Each structure stands twice: as C-alpha cells, then as structure tokens.
A and B are shown apart, each in its own frame.
Chain A
Amino acid sequence: MNLSRVTLAFVFLVTWLAVFAQTQFVGLRHWLGIPLAVVPALVSYTALTHGIAVTTALSVLAGLWIDSLSASRLGVSVGPLFLLGFLLHLRRHLILRDQRYAQFWIGFGAGVSVNLLVLMLLSAGQREPISGWFSLWQIPMLGILNGAACPGAFVLFDALERTFGYRPATQSGFRSDREIVRGRHDRIH
C-alpha cells in the first residue's frame, strides 16, 4: 500500500498518544484491572499495511515509550513487539487482513502473545512482577481490548488515508474506439 507521509506520521502520532493513554484512564483499571493498552493492535495494523522498516521503527519506538513510562527495564517491551510485527509482516499475504473478524483475531492474538512474552521476560529478571491468578483474567482482557482496537485502527487509518492520501484519477467513460463522429458521412467506430 502506497501511503502518504502524512498518514505515516499519523501512525506514529497515534501510537505515541496510545502509550500515554496507557498511563491514564483510572476507571478501566479499577473495573477491569487492565490499562488501556492497544499498542499491539497498532503494531499489527502497521505490519499488515506497511513495510518492514516502518514496522520495525514503530515496534522499537513503542517499546521504548512503554518501558519509559513503566517500572520495567528499558527494552523489555521492544522484543515482543518487534517479534509480533516481524512475523505478521512475513505472513501478511496469507492473512485475510481486509476482513473484520480476521482483524479482531489478529488483535486478540497480538494482545495475548505480547503481554505473555513481556511477563515471561520480566519473570526471568531480578525483580518479581506482580502476577498471579488475576493475570489469567488480565491477559485475555488485554486480548479482547486489542481485538476490538485492531479493526478500529484499520477504520481510522483508512479514513485518514482517504482524507490525506492521493486519490486515483477518476476514469472517464470516453472510449475512442466507440466515438461517434458527426459529419457529412456519419460513422460509428
């Protein structure tokens, strides 16, 4: 997909805002026990619609942003996000990325797998993360959140692309081989 630079900038801007949103919205944490974490869904969208360079840059930046606003060691979130983006990008020709249900399940899988990988990496470190039986609720909920966010990302960025991207030139109905030439000796091609 040939996306304009404005749309590309929007992808990074929305991811930056999404990382900030993870530190806000107390209500969601209180009622569901999870932050508003939709970055895996955004990385999935990017992997399915952009090149490997953009996907890598976004997963690295998003990972660094998330770690800088959490108590995790800097770099821990980068690996799982990159792995997700890379694998999705490699297999994107086999994925029905235009179908809403496929987008939901891609987002769901992204939310679950990234958070599981991060938890495994953190558990291998020196500090013990807060996890337990409640994590069995949190991780699927993060999956559902990302499952809902992934089609949302497609809708949002497609709308942005239509607004800011170059529109294809409209085709004229004129065909020279069907031209009616008026004159003394009318003839139809």
Chain B
Amino acid sequence: MLKRPHYLAIGGTALLLLALLNLPASVAERLKLVVSGSFLPLFGLRTATHSFLDRASFQLLPRSVLIDEIVRARQENADLSMAAMQGKEAMAENARLRAALSTPPRGPWNRRFARVIGRDATTWWRTLRIDLGSRDGLQANQVVLTASGLVGRVSQVGLTHADVALVGDAECGVSVTVRETRDLGIIKPGQASSGEGGLVEMSLLQNSPEVMAGQTVITSGLGGIFPAGIPVGSILDSRATEGGLFTTARIRLAVQLNRLEEVWVLQP
C-alpha cells in the first residue's frame, strides 16, 4: 500500500528526471562537469598515490637494471635521431613540392603528455579520462594518440581533466584508408567494438577485393579532425556486404585501449 512518502518520492524523482532529460545538451554537459567535480579529491589522491608508487619502485630498482635501461635508451635515441634526420629531409622535400603545387604545408605535431586517470563508469561507452583540462589549453576534438597509433579524440573538457572518446565509440567516427590499396573507409561503432576492446569494424566506401587480412589501416586525413597517416590497426578479416556493394572489415587496433596509462594529445 502506497503512503504519502512513497508518492512524494515518485513525484520528486519523476520531476527531476523530466528536468534533467529535457535540459539542452550544453547545459547537461556543464552540469555533468559540476557533479563529477565531487570526485576531484579522489582523482587527485589516485594521481598522488601513483606518482608515489612510481618513485618508490624507481628507488627499489637495482642499479644493473637501470644501467641496462640507459644503454637501451641510448641505442634507441641514436636510431630515432637517424630516422629524424631522414624525416627532416623528406619533410623539406615535401614542403618544396607542396609549395610548387600551391598546397598549404603540413604543420608539425605539438604534442602534450597526459596520464589516464579513469575510464567510463559503464560498459556501454568507450571513453577515458585524462589529467589535462582547459587550464592546460585542451580543447574539444583534439587528437589523442600513443607511439603505437590512434587512441581517439577529446570529447569533453573540464578545468583539470578531459574525456576522450576512443576509436570505436559512437562519438569518435574516423575516416581511414588502407595503406596498401588506398581504399577509403570509416570506422563505426558496432558489435565488433564490444568485448575485449581490441577490435573495431570498418566499412569501406566501395567493395574492394584487394583488401585482405594483415593490411595496415591509417587515418585518411578527411573530416578535418585526425591528421593523415596515424596508424589505426591492421585488418583481421573482411567480407562483402549489401549485396557486394561494400566491404566490411574487422580491424585489430594498433593500441591496446584497455591497458592505456599514458597518451599524447596533439595541440595546434
């Protein structure tokens, strides 16, 4: 039997829900930032604990391991310096050719390091939270990546943190191209996106029998958000769809999204 407090509870909650679900999207997002602000102390505590544990683990590392790391880092640095030298020459050549064709030059990547401080609280979206916000100059739609490949784009920006929509999320459509065949396609959320987080589905704009397993998928540069040439993943398998008009392929992502701890944000 319902009593007065029950009716009050139902009425109050229903009114609140009506108000919340009918808020304009921008107001709702701002309200979300305000509510999530209550977790700032916990995120701060998490970051502090992680840095303390990192420092403590460095202190505990044996000297021989550190020396091995330094030797490996020096070798890697020498390799990368050589590659950068080659790259600089190629970029200069590219700039000359672009100037000859009156095409605007490609700007350099200004990247900023960020730590992952949390993931989406539900299973229904692919997002994560990083420790950079508007006070660090972050803006919506900036590209997030690692040395292995594309991670996603900044979807929401708070003062001290930002949410990143990962590849495969509904908020992060990516225009891609198959490096070997130059076929264009898009990555969309779907059934392949669920589960372990390492697979996404790509729809090619036209059927292409040349597309096969093992080929590399990179960003195409179309759409204006993601610069061209960022590795996205490799093709796992493909099949013709819509009566043979299109090709759909499953992509194994280059980045292990479930295990990300650090990322880079590209800033203009």
Contacts and interface: CB of A to CB of B under 8 A. Distances in A.
Interface stretch (B54-62, B89-97, B115-123, B130-138): B115-123
Contacts of B12: 56
Contacts of A134: 191, 194-195
A33 B123 contact: yes
A19 B171 contact: no
Contacts of A78: 13, 16-17, 20
A65 B120 contact: no
A130 B155 CA distance: 17
A10 interface: no
Nearest to B192: A132
B120 A70 contact: yes
A60 interface: yes
A69 B194 contact: no
A59 to B, nearest CB: 8
A71 B21 contact: no
Contact of B259 (A26, A34, A37, A73): A26
Given A74-B20, A78-B13, A86-B9, A130 B121 contact: no
Given A68-B35, A70-B127, A29 B165 contact: no
A129 B196 CA distance: 15
A130 B124 contact: yes
A4 interface: no
A133 interface: yes
Contacts of B31: 74
A76 B165 CA distance: 19
B246 interface: no
Interface in B207-262: 258-259
A90 interface: yes
B203 to A, nearest CB: 14
A37 to B, nearest CB: 7
Contacts of B258: 26, 29-30
B125 interface: yes
Nearest to A25: B119
B189 A23 contact: no
Given A71-B171, A86-B10, A19 B189 contact: no
B12 to A, nearest CB: 7
Interface string B13-38: 10011001101000010011101101
B195 A129 contact: no
A138 B123 CA distance: 8
A102 interface: no
Interface size class of B (residues with CB under 8 A): 35 or more
A131 B125 CA distance: 9
Nearest to A119: B124
Contact of A56 (B9, B170, B192): B9
Contacts of B153: none
A68 B122 CA distance: 11
Contacts of A7: none
A62 B127 CA distance: 20
B77 to A, nearest CB: 30
Nearest to A128: B170
A122 B120 CA distance: 15
A130 B189 contact: yes
A24 B13 CA distance: 29
Contacts of A115: 123
A49 interface: no
Contacts of B169: 71, 130
B32 A130 contact: no
Contact of A16 (B13, B38, B129, B193): B38
B190 interface: yes
9 contacts: A23-B120, A30-B196, A56-B12, A70-B121, A74-B35, A90-B6, A118-B122, A130-B126, A130-B169
Given A56-B13, A134-B191, 20 more contacts: A16-B39, A23-B120, A24-B46, A24-B119, A30-B259, A33-B195, A35-B120, A52-B9, A53-B9, A56-B12, A60-B16, A67-B32, A69-B36, A70-B122, A90-B2, A130-B168, A130-B170, A132-B194, A134-B194, A142-B123
